[in-house]
Amino acid sequence: MTAPLQFKDVTLGYDRHPAVHHLSGEIAPGALLAVVGPNGAGKSTLFRGIVGILKPLAGAIMTGGLDSRDIAYLPQSVDVDRSFPISVYDFVGTGLWRSTGFFGGMGNGASDRIARALAAVGLNGFENRAIGTLSGGQMQRMLFARVLLQDARLIVLDEPFNAIDARTSVDLIALVRRWHSEKRTVLAALHDMDLVRANFPETLLLARGPVAWGATSEVLTAENLLEARRMCEAFDESNSCAGRWPPRSRLRWAAHQSAYF
């Protein structure tokens, strides 16, 4: 990515019902940005807009000259159809379609690249496993292997560390850091505020609209987190929106820390 990713008063939604309202701003090439907010805040909707699978209802998203082949997308694991009868090898190999095309075949060198990607995420020996047999952590490792193969300038990760073991988180965060050091632009929707504080210099706090956006330490204050929850509940009459967010212990921690911001 050479030009910024820009949001121009963008509204995204489904069947004309807005889910993300009036977002404006830009993400610099090479940024490492966390997107946080309660359940239903619009994080996944925003990501679908960025990767081009959801067209804006109003406004525009400019991807800085990138086309869809330069963008790698790791969907929320609930959005992956685990019953699809495909092996780990073939699933990860779809990350090469960017260079080979759908009907292009895998070509020379493809199997080496897939083997290297599987090794990088610790899935050696899993080539022939059906994806439906993987644990949550293994599934997430496989999704990261596909992103690795895509070799994209913009990487969009939707809740990549949810419901996985600590070891897997550590391994996969190392990959995120590597992509950042390679000057790729990385966006990730996350729930663990400690993980965000430790690894993501910038944060967008979203609650259907932007609540705060900037340096992580300035965005993740107790006041902003409460405001995000309040805004999200106001939007969602069924109150499916917020759940218990942010987790109480983290909120207390944030309240304590806010004295130092």
Among 10, 45, 89, 245, binds ligand ADP (CB under 6 A): 45
* Residue nearest Mg ion by beta-carbon distance: 44
Part of the chain binding ligand ADP (CB under 6 A), chosen from 34-42, 92-100, 101-109, 176-184: 34-42
Total residues interacting with ligand ADP, rule: CB under 6 A: 11
Q: 39 touches which of ligand ADP, Mg ion, none (CB within 5 to 8 A by kind)?
A: ligand ADP
44 binds Mg ion (CB under 5 A): yes
99 binds ligand ADP (CB under 6 A): no
43 binds ligand ADP (CB under 6 A): yes
Is residue 25 within 8 Å of 178, Cβ to Cβ?
Answer: no
Part of the chain binding ligand ADP (CB under 6 A), chosen from 39-47, 114-122, 168-176, 222-230: 39-47
Binding mask 188-227 for Mg ion (x = CB under 5 A): ----------------------------------------
Tell me how far apart the alpha carbons of residues 63 and 222 are, in angstroms, rounded to a whole number: 32
Q: 37 touches which of Mg ion, ligand ADP, none (CB within 5 to 8 A by kind)?
A: ligand ADP
Q: To the nearest whole angstrom, how small is the minimum distance from the Cβ of residue 76 to Mg ion?
A: 5
Q: Contact positions toward ligand ADP, by CB under 6 A? A: 14, 19, 37, 39-45, 236
Q: Contact positions toward Mg ion, by CB under 5 A? A: 43-44
